[in-house]
Chains A and B, each alone.
Chain A
Amino acid sequence: MKSAVLVFPGINRERDLARAFHEVSGVAPHMVWHTETELPDVDVVAIPGGFSYGDYLRCGAIAARSPIIEAVRRHADRGGYVLGICNGFQIVTEIGLLPGALMRNASLKFVCKEVRLRVDNASTAFTSAYAPGQVIRCPIAHGEGNYFADAETLARLEGEGRVAFRYCDEAGETTDAANPNGSIHSIAGILNERGNVLGMMPHPENLIEALQGGIDGRGLFESLARVA
């Protein structure tokens, strides 16, 4: 699997994400600076978490207007994989590759903890290493992860099986208590129509080794390694 990790000023989980790609595929990803206009020849473009441009103005809004973004759009149009995690998810929605928006957490507070996710679609390029309905542990760390989309968009997302991950409890139930940020339909991660773009708030890249407390996050990178 050949991958690239984009770096914008203020991004801060690029090393975590690069490490996950490296661990799973054995190949270190290309680190691509935001002022570039071309991507290297890669299968997966990953946009990491952090606070691009300080999250000033609106999360992801300024990064979405960086020179590299046109190349990301072309990569996605060609069917290349795009993975946006946390700030990366926010950026991908700002670009318009995914619908909806991420609002301030319902608690109005930043929250870092481990949550449970239910894999609602395990037949995607990003999730095939998981079993359908599997409940996995995954860290979150964000202040604005409250996913929202209008009723029509939601109906399409749900109808087309484009909700990849949902926040749930240990038993796999989606409850208010298990929803850490107020996301509508407990949505933690969604796909585009074509299934080659995934945006998610949680950080699977921080749970890929036993030392980190578990390896539940590996599945996502292993899934990509199968197809790319």
Chain B
Amino acid sequence: MIPNDIKITPELVKEHGLKPDEYQRILDLIGREPTLTELGIFSAMWNEHCSYKSSKKWLKQLPTKGERVLIGPGENAGVVDIGDGQAVVFKMESHNHPSYIEPYQGATTGVGGILRDVFTMGARPIAAMNALRFGEPTHPKTHHVVSGVVAGVGGYGNSFGVPTVGGEVNFHRRYNGNCLVNAFAAGLLKSDEIFLSEAKGVGMPVVYLGSKTGRDGMGGATMASAEFDENSAEKRPTVQVGDPFAEKLLLEASLELMASGAVIAIQDMGAAGLTCSAVEMGAKGNLGLELNLDMVPTREPNMTAYEMMLSESQERMLMVLHPHLEEQAEAIFRKWGLDFAIVGYTTDTLRFVVKHHGEVMADLPIKELGDQAPEYDRPWVEPAKQPVLDVADVPAPANYAKALLDLLGSPNLSSRRWVWEQYDHLIQGNTVQRPGGDAAVVRVERPNGGTAKGLGFTCDVTPRYVEADPYEGGKQAIAESWRNLSAVGALPIAVTDNLNFGNPERPEIMGQFVMALKGIGEACLALDMPIVSGNVSLYNETNGEAILPTPAIGAVGLMDDVEKTVGVAFANSEDVILLVGETTGWMGQSSYLYELYGREEGAPPPVDLALEKKTGDFVRDCVIAGRVTAAHDLSDGGLLVALAEMAMAGGKGARLLLPETEVPLHAFLFGEDQARYVLTASPIEASRLIVDAAMAGVAATAIGAVGGSELVIPGHLTVAVADLRERHESWMPSYMSAA
């Protein structure tokens, strides 16, 4: 066993991920050399993952307030009012590094962590999503990572009992050495029964709940704050192991305990485990905290203070309880078969004291541990913008049917059924819009009966766009989530962001971060979608190559009457197909260019936020008024891919009569201009919609009618819906079944 009073060498400091100047800051702060346990505590609190030291300056500039926002960033998850005394709690968080090293366990613990964040606030989880990015399909590791991550996401969520209703899956070579696993969870609670982490009162018992502490996940947060190299597999022991059964018990026991009135404060043990949760509870409440590690339930004998403080064993919680309700609380946890131990007390000293075997292992100023973490204003340069691509530089396909089929059968646009059929998306019986559409919709019953409400959920970002222009790409991520929610009839109300970038110590990466956040912030303001929670994952690099900048957005929308939602499927023959929005034939960074020609060129489509707002509001109003039979936003692959998706979903074809335009046909069909949707409506309603759109200043054009079993553009394309389906559905299963 390493003694606690070991000499702190520069090597030891480096191994803890602390820079020499950061160590000097520690010495200045405490006025002496730290003990080993103290060094571990500092490394846990001051790493990038926990301290946001590179990103804080920029995160502060994001819009986080709004009429509905009850709790913004800074707690375990954001809380947004949805009326009737109810609120939705949600957050998205990355588990990238662990998932690449150990895909199954990395993904399970990512899902477990985010679910815990949600129920720690007192909410029962009602929906989960996952934004997953993998390397190119031909890379030797990709198959293994996809298989393990998808099984892990399902393995945890299915057993826990939350419907996984949506997400994204993309492939790109820039994720070859560093996959992204971004897990989203949302829960429901009463808006006057929100639980927070702020400890209150001196001498209150600090209670440890859940699974036992083992040596797993030691230093995980520190690992997540470093780049990868060829030796990264050696970091496997830092990955935690998930136990969804324990988490399910912890959920039920925690909610039961909260209902009993015994809980003063609660914090889950996530990254940096006991250290982070204890310090946060004390520091937020302006209280000191003393822990007696002899009382911590351990899985293995002879664990040191250092190990216990840095363990990231899963499915654990820390609570401050009302002393007179201790027994009642313990009975609830015994009923669920979980460990329950009083491991400390709050104090008025503002010190974080850790005792083990009667000895003081750490004695640190609690406020400074959190507040005095280094904060960097890292140098950044604005990334060079790509020139706008001339449509003349993009070849038209020789055969439109083949081009469409190739797109639908490409790794990035093919059906994700293989993924979401491994996720239980129906449990709880409230899934109204299932995976595969624009946004998932989940029913929320009002406490006093009446028409049920709906919550819409979507995950979006187009990393290729962000790479080409972080500012426009950042705007686009928000705009696409706005469209996906509007298309199902939900009013977007708030956002969580999961900001995945490379090494912030490189000015060009920091530039991507700064500009993407600028775009995201502007879009959130313009579309009234405040950011209520989030997570930053930096150092996503392997051997010096960064991932595509990937600010994944998880957005939530609200419907007053869930029955009003519509899906993407063509519903009735003879329905008129309307193209809503302006089409200029924007081909820069399009899926057409990337999937068919392997070209990532040009500026991404610009996002006009005022136009997005106007168009989205118009579309949503039409959906809610019951005027349309289907609605779909236009994104990757443009108009023709969207129409094909509607045809496949409805099992019905369409005959298109395209308007006269100066835009070349291939750019009209495959261009990715923003702020566009396809709607279908009865012929009579369609004529009225065109008039109303004009009144609202929104472009809407009839482009054909639903019917038959083929998608037809006379003179250019005739393809059976069955053939579209065959290609769309086959890529992923055949890729995954190949060894």
A residues sitting closer than 8 Å to B (CB atoms) are 9-10, 12-13, 15-16, 19, 50-51, 53-56, 109-113, 139, 141, 143, 203, 205-206, 208-209, 211-213
B429 touches A55 (CB 8 A): no
B337 at the interface (CB under 8 A from A): yes
Shortest distance between the CB of A117 and any CB in chain B (Å): 15
A109 touches B426 (CB 8 A): no
B159 at the interface (CB under 8 A from A): yes
Partner of A110, one of B154, B243, B432, B562: B154
The verdict on A13 contacting B423 (CB below 8 Å), with A211-B432, A212-B429 known, is no
The verdict on A211 contacting B563 (CB below 8 Å), with A111-B422, A112-B421, A112-B424 known, is yes
Alpha-carbon separation in the docked complex, A16 to B163 (Å): 12
A56 touches B245 (CB 8 A): yes
Tell which of B249, B420, B428 has the most Cβ of chain A within 10 Å. Answer: B428
Q: In the assembled complex, which residues on chain B have CB atoms less than 8 Å from the CB atom of A139?
A: 426
Mostly helix, strand, loop or mixed at chain A's interface? Answer: mixed
Alpha-carbon separation in the docked complex, A211 to B154 (Å): 24
B425 touches A206 (CB 8 A): no
Alpha-carbon separation in the docked complex, A49 to B434 (Å): 20
Residue of B nearest to A16 (CB): B429
Shortest distance between the CB of A27 and any CB in chain B (Å): 17
B709 at the interface (CB under 8 A from A): no
Q: In the assembled complex, which residues on chain A have CB atoms less than 8 Å from the CB atom of B249?
A: 9-10
Q: Within residues 377 to 435 of chain B, which ones have a CB less than 8 A from any CB in chain A?
A: 420-429, 431-432, 434
In the assembled complex, 30 residue pairs joining A and B whose CB atoms fall closer than 8 Å, in A order, are A9-B248, A12-B159, A12-B161, A12-B248, A12-B427, A15-B428, A15-B429, A19-B429, A51-B158, A51-B159, A51-B244, A51-B245, A51-B248, A54-B244, A56-B245, A110-B151, A110-B422, A110-B423, A111-B422, A112-B158, A112-B424, A113-B421, A141-B426, A141-B427, A203-B426, A211-B432, A211-B443, A211-B562, A212-B426, A213-B434
Alpha-carbon separation in the docked complex, A220 to B159 (Å): 25
The verdict on A112 contacting B159 (CB below 8 Å), with A15-B428, A205-B429 known, is no
Alpha-carbon separation in the docked complex, A109 to B154 (Å): 10
A16 touches B158 (CB 8 A): no
A110 touches B155 (CB 8 A): yes
Alpha-carbon separation in the docked complex, A19 to B430 (Å): 11
Q: In the assembled complex, which residues on chain B have CB atoms less than 8 Å from the CB atom of A50?
A: 159, 161
The verdict on A16 contacting B427 (CB below 8 Å), with A109-B422, A141-B158 known, is yes
A10 touches B159 (CB 8 A): yes
Shortest distance between the CB of A113 and any CB in chain B (Å): 5
Alpha-carbon separation in the docked complex, A111 to B336 (Å): 29
Q: Which 7 A-B pairs have the closest CB atoms?
A: A12-B161, A54-B245, A51-B159, A141-B424, A16-B429, A112-B424, A139-B426
Shortest distance between the CB of A69 and any CB in chain B (Å): 18
Residue of B nearest to A20 (CB): B429
Tell which of B158, B337, B432 has the most Cβ of chain A within 10 Å. Answer: B158
The verdict on A53 contacting B426 (CB below 8 Å), with A12-B161, A112-B421 known, is no
Alpha-carbon separation in the docked complex, A12 to B423 (Å): 14
Q: In the assembled complex, which residues on chain B have CB atoms less than 8 Å from the CB atom of A113?
A: 421
Q: In the assembled complex, which residues on chain A have CB atoms less than 8 Å from the CB atom of B423?
A: 110, 112
Alpha-carbon separation in the docked complex, A12 to B160 (Å): 7
Count of chain B residues near A, Cβ 8 A? 32
B245 touches A53 (CB 8 A): yes
B452 at the interface (CB under 8 A from A): yes
Residue of B nearest to A14 (CB): B161
Shortest distance between the CB of B649 and any CB in chain A (Å): 13
A206 touches B426 (CB 8 A): yes
A109 touches B428 (CB 8 A): no
A212 touches B431 (CB 8 A): yes
Shortest distance between the CB of B23 and any CB in chain A (Å): 43
B residues sitting closer than 8 Å to A (CB atoms) are 151, 154-155, 158-161, 243-246, 248-249, 336-337, 420-429, 431-432, 434, 443, 452, 562-563
Shortest distance between the CB of B657 and any CB in chain A (Å): 33
Tell which of B244, B246, B337, B424 has the most Cβ of chain A within 10 Å. Answer: B424
Q: In the assembled complex, which residues on chain B have CB atoms less than 8 Å from the CB atom of A12?
A: 159-161, 248, 427
Alpha-carbon separation in the docked complex, A110 to B158 (Å): 9
A55 touches B427 (CB 8 A): no
Alpha-carbon separation in the docked complex, A19 to B443 (Å): 14
Alpha-carbon separation in the docked complex, A139 to B154 (Å): 17
Residue of A nearest to B243 (CB): A54
Q: In the assembled complex, which residues on chain A have CB atoms less than 8 Å from the CB atom of B425?
A: 112
Shortest distance between the CB of B399 and any CB in chain A (Å): 31
Tell which of A9, A15, A203, A209 has the most Cβ of chain B within 10 Å. Answer: A9
Tell which of A12, A143, A206, A213 has the most Cβ of chain B within 10 Å. Answer: A12
The verdict on A211 contacting B158 (CB below 8 Å), with A56-B245, A112-B422 known, is no
Partner of A9, one of B158, B245, B428: B245
Alpha-carbon separation in the docked complex, A71 to B53 (Å): 59
Q: In the assembled complex, which residues on chain B have CB atoms less than 8 Å from the CB atom of A208?
A: 429
B429 touches A10 (CB 8 A): no
Alpha-carbon separation in the docked complex, A145 to B176 (Å): 35
Residue of B nearest to A180 (CB): B421
Alpha-carbon separation in the docked complex, A9 to B159 (Å): 11
Shortest distance between the CB of B648 and any CB in chain A (Å): 16
Besides A16-B428, A54-B244, 7 more A-B contacts (Cβ < 8 Å) are A10-B248, A10-B249, A53-B245, A56-B245, A113-B421, A205-B429, A211-B452
Shortest distance between the CB of A139 and any CB in chain B (Å): 5
Q: In the assembled complex, which residues on chain A have CB atoms less than 8 Å from the CB atom of B429?
A: 15-16, 19, 205-206, 208-209, 212
Alpha-carbon separation in the docked complex, A10 to B315 (Å): 14
Tell which of A109, A205, A213 has the most Cβ of chain B within 10 Å. Answer: A109
Alpha-carbon separation in the docked complex, A163 to B281 (Å): 57
Residue of A nearest to B337 (CB): A9
Q: In the assembled complex, which residues on chain A have CB atoms less than 8 Å from the CB atom of B161?
A: 12-13, 50
Alpha-carbon separation in the docked complex, A50 to B432 (Å): 21
B421 touches A55 (CB 8 A): no
Q: In the assembled complex, which residues on chain B have CB atoms less than 8 Å from the CB atom of A9?
A: 245, 248-249, 336-337
Tell which of B429, B443, B452 has the most Cβ of chain A within 10 Å. Answer: B429
Residue of A nearest to B433 (CB): A213
A54 touches B562 (CB 8 A): no
Q: In the assembled complex, which residues on chain B have CB atoms less than 8 Å from the CB atom of A213?
A: 434
Q: In the assembled complex, which residues on chain A have CB atoms less than 8 Å from the CB atom of B427?
A: 12-13, 16, 141, 206
Residue of A nearest to B418 (CB): A109
Shortest distance between the CB of B498 and any CB in chain A (Å): 25
Residue of B nearest to A33 (CB): B335
Residue of B nearest to A17 (CB): B429
Shortest distance between the CB of A194 and any CB in chain B (Å): 30
Residue of B nearest to A50 (CB): B161
Shortest distance between the CB of A34 and any CB in chain B (Å): 11
Alpha-carbon separation in the docked complex, A56 to B420 (Å): 24
Q: In the assembled complex, which residues on chain B have CB atoms less than 8 Å from the CB atom of A111?
A: 421-422
Residue of B nearest to A35 (CB): B335
Q: In the assembled complex, which residues on chain A have CB atoms less than 8 Å from the CB atom of B421?
A: 111-113
Alpha-carbon separation in the docked complex, A50 to B245 (Å): 10
A54 touches B426 (CB 8 A): no
Shortest distance between the CB of B212 and any CB in chain A (Å): 15
